[in-house]
């Protein structure tokens, strides 16, 4: 690897001594205001060095028997006879997900919805619109296509619209997939992403008996939730909370053994401008309802959200300040004895502390579009991911891979579009990423880049998404300098669910 980035080091150190290129491995660095340096390498390893240790490191003047040198060697910053073999094994382990095919299969059983969420990324149709439900023939062919994946793990996720508007197809897919799996013997799981307003006891009992995981949208306290998620027929917040409590009680009644730790209802929040000032109420709502975590997700420019800039959007710095205050508030809850974690932080921390690619497919390099997930529309059209399907709802079929009735599985995966998405989301060599100290922990979403810039390759410095992700990662590193916070982060990583998908 090139050592050209080190030219600046020589200037910073104001020395003419030879840089020890043959003794130290490729690394990236950033100097902070306190004079300390953060160094990272290609394998996600990191270390904080004070200025003297940093200078001695790059000039090969560290005591080889000292703890700093030993840690640098252990973390693959030192070139020795064991370096190459260890580096190859580490890199292969990090990228092991590339050995498998798509594991997450998003099935859109209907485009219709009974809510009018102001940020709806899916551009949902109304309940009265006809012709937007998946039929049984398409459902069967979708399952047959899903089982062609080379991955031993399959997660079928029902989305919409509001998927419960097409209950017969959900019921059919679950039964048919389970019957098919008696021969295929895959690690098969199901998830329902729903607003719960159309749930009843019979549907709930069927889903729980079939071990379907529930996930809903909960945007926080009642005021914030109902502002974002408009439901004319009832109080959306009250309906959602009612079923959250009902389902969790049903889990308690059914699973008295260790399975109860696995079956817990999930909830997602979409942060709008309304959320920024209500962050404490939002977090407290999640804690009061018994959730173990909250995922503070920023808006994406898909669907209706793209048309509501003045109402719900914010600039990157506004979100960054909101996130820092929210994370500090959550950390204080942990210090006070309530273990509760923030999921976006955990996605980054799994990379930072465990050197693994997380189950958040957008944060992988390359991302999971096409190679980690597929999205199946109600009519059999297949897209690289759910975001690609959302772009199609906006009138652009750029990310359509084909159709289950006209293309076999190999044709859906082995094509130029999938290869281009992989290339555009692989941070190795990407301008702006390759020289960034946080490069091992950053991810790229080509669909996001396309929606903003008309190009799947990133315009890094002007990217809303990149500015936020970089600031979040940097804040985590700064917080980790406190041993008490590092212990909390380590506990979060330990308690977060292991990935279902490979």
Which pLDDT value is given to residue 310?
64
Q: How far is CA 122 from CA 125, 274, 316, in A?
A: 9, 20, 23
List 238's β-bridge partners, or say none: none
Q: How many CB atoms lie within 10 A of CB 485?
A: 18
Question: Residue 212: which residues within 8 A CB-CB, separation 6 or more?
Answer: 174, 190, 191, 192
Q: Strand pairing of 28-31 and 37-40?
A: antiparallel
Question: Whole-angstrom Cα distance, residue 72 to residue 364?
Answer: 25
Instruction: Look at residue 430 in the predicted model and tell me its pLDDT.
Output: 82
CA nearest to 447, candidates 391, 400, 396: 391
CB 86 within 8 A of CB 92: no
Answer whether 194's CB lies under 8 Å from 167's CB: no
**Sheet of strand 373-376: strand arrangement:** 296-297, 266-270, 212-217, 187-193, 153-159, 104-108, 373-376, 381-383, 400-403
The predicted structure's pLDDT at residue 299? 86
CA nearest neighbour of 211 among 162, 243, 177: 177
User: Cα dihedral angle (105, 389, 274, 318), rounded to 10 degrees?
Assistant: 100
CA 186 – CA 178 distance, rounded (Å): 10
Q: How far apart are the first and last CA of the chain?
A: 29
CA distance 483 to 488: 9
Three-state secondary structure call for residue 57: helix
As a whole number of angstroms, the distance between CA 193 and CA 462 comes to: 32
**What Å distances lie between residue 134 and 22, 142, 165, 379, 428, CA to CA?**
61, 10, 11, 6, 40
The pLDDT value recorded for residue 117 is 86
Question: Is 6 within 8 Å of 19 (Cβ atoms)?
Answer: yes
Residue 464 CA to residue 300 CA, distance in Å, equals: 10
Please check whether residue 403 is in contact with residue 381, taking contact to mean a CB–CB distance below 8 angstroms.
yes
pLDDT per residue of the chain (502 residues) written in tens, 0 to 9: 334 444 444 445 444 355 667 889 999 999 999 999 999 999 999 999 999 999 999 998 999 999 999 999 999 999 999 999 999 999 998 888 888 899 999 999 999 998 888 887 666 778 888 899 999 999 999 999 999 999 999 999 999 889 999 999 999 999 999 999 999 999 999 999 999 999 999 999 999 999 999 999 999 999 999 999 989 899 999 999 999 999 999 988 887 765 555 677 899 999 999 999 999 999 999 999 999 999 999 888 765 545 566 678 899 999 999 999 999 999 999 999 999 999 999 999 999 999 887 777 888 889 999 999 999 999 999 999 999 998 888 889 999 999 999 999 999 999 999 999 999 999 887 888 888 999 999 988 899 888 888 889 876 667 888 899 999 999 999 999 999 999 999 999 998 865 443 3
β partners of residue 400: 383
Please, are residues 401 and 415 in contact by the beta-carbon 8 Å criterion? Answer: yes
Cβ–Cβ under 8 Å, residues 189 and 234 = no
**Collapsing DSSP states into helix, strand and coil, what is residue 367?**
coil
pLDDT attached to residue 121: 63
Q: Distance between CA atoms of 360 and 348, rounded to whole angstroms?
A: 10
Task: Find tokens 């709802």 and name the residue.
Answer: 393
Distance in angstroms (rounded) separating the CA atoms of residues 124 and 448: 19
SS3 306: helix
Q: Where are the beta strands (DSSP E) in 196-312?
A: 212-217, 266-270, 293-294, 296-297
Q: At 38, which helix (H) or strand (E)?
A: strand 37-40
DSSP 362: G
Do the beta carbons of residue 72 and residue 121 sit within 8 Å? Answer: no
Q: Containing H/E element for 418?
A: helix 416-425
Cα(104)–Cα(120) distance, integer angstroms: 22
* % helix, strand, coil for the chain, step of 5: 50, 15, 40
The secondary structure element, H or E, covering residue 104 is strand 104-108
Query: And the tokens for 183?
Result: 């021969």
pLDDT value of residue 232:
85
Q: Would you give the DSSP letter of residue 64?
A: T
Separation of alpha carbons 94 and 351, rounded Å: 9
Query: How many whole angstroms from its chain centre is CA 450?
Result: 18
């Amino acid at each position: 690897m090139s050592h050209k980035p080190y030219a600046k080091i020589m200037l910073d150190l104001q020395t003419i001594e030879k840089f020890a290129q043959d003794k130290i491995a490729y690394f990236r660095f950033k100097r902070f205001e306190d004079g300390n340096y953060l160094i990272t390498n290609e394998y996600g390893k990191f270390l904080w060095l004070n200025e003297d240790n940093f200078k001695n490191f790059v000039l090969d003047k560290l005591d080889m028997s000292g703890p700093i040198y030993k840690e640098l060697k252990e973390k693959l910053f030192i070139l020795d006879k064991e370096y190459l073999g260890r580096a190859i094994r580490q890199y292969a382990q990090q990228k092991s997900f590339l050995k498998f095919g798509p594991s997450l299969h998003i099935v859109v059983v209907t485009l219709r919805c009974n809510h009018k969420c102001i940020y709806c990324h899916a551009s949902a149709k109304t309940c009265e619109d006809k012709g937007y439900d998946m039929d049984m023939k398409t459902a069967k062919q979708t399952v047959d296509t899903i089982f062609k994946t080379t991955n031993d793990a399959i997660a079928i996720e029902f989305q919409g619209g509001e998927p419960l508007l097409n209950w017969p197809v959900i019921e059919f897919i679950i039964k048919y997939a389970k019957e098919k799996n008696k021969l295929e013997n895959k690690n098969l799981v199901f998830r329902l992403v729903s607003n719960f307003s159309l749930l009843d006891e019979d549907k709930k009992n069927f889903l729980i008996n079939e071990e379907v995981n529930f996930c809903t949208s909960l945007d926080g306290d009642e005021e914030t939730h109902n502002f974002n998620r408009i439901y004319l027929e009832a109080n959306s917040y009250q309906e959602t909370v009612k079923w959250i409590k009902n389902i969790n009680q049903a889990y308690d009644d059914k699973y008295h053994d260790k399975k109860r730790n696995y079956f817990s209802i999930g909830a997602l929040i979409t942060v709008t401008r309304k959320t920024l000032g209500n962050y404490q109420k939002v977090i407290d709502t999640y804690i009061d309802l018994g959730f173990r975590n909250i995922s503070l997700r920023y808006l994406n420019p898909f669907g209706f959200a793209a048309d509501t800039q003045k109402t719900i959007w914010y600039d990157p710095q506004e979100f960054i300040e909101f996130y820092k205050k929210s994370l500090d508030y959550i950390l204080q809850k942990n210090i006070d004895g309530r273990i509760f974690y923030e999921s976006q932080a955990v996605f980054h921390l799994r990379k930072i502390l465990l050197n693994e690619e997380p189950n958040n497919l957008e944060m992988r390099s390359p991302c999971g579009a096409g190679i980690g997930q597929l999205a199946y529309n109600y009519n059999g059209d297949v897209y690289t991911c759910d975001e690609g399907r959302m772009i199609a709802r906006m009138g652009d079929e750029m990310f359509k891979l084909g159709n289950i009735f006209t293309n076999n599985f190999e044709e859906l995966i082995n094509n130029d579009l999938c290869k281009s998405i992989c290339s555009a989301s692989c941070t190795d060599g990407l301008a702006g990423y390759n020289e960034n100290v946080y490069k091992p922990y950053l991810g790229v979403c080509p669909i996001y880049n396309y929606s903003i810039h008309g190009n799947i390759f990133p315009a890094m410095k002007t990217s809303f998404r990149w500015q936020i992700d970089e600031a979040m990662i940097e804040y985590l590193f700064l917080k980790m300098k406190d041993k008490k916070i590092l212990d909390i982060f380590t506990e979060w990583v330990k308690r977060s669910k292991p990935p279902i998908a490979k």
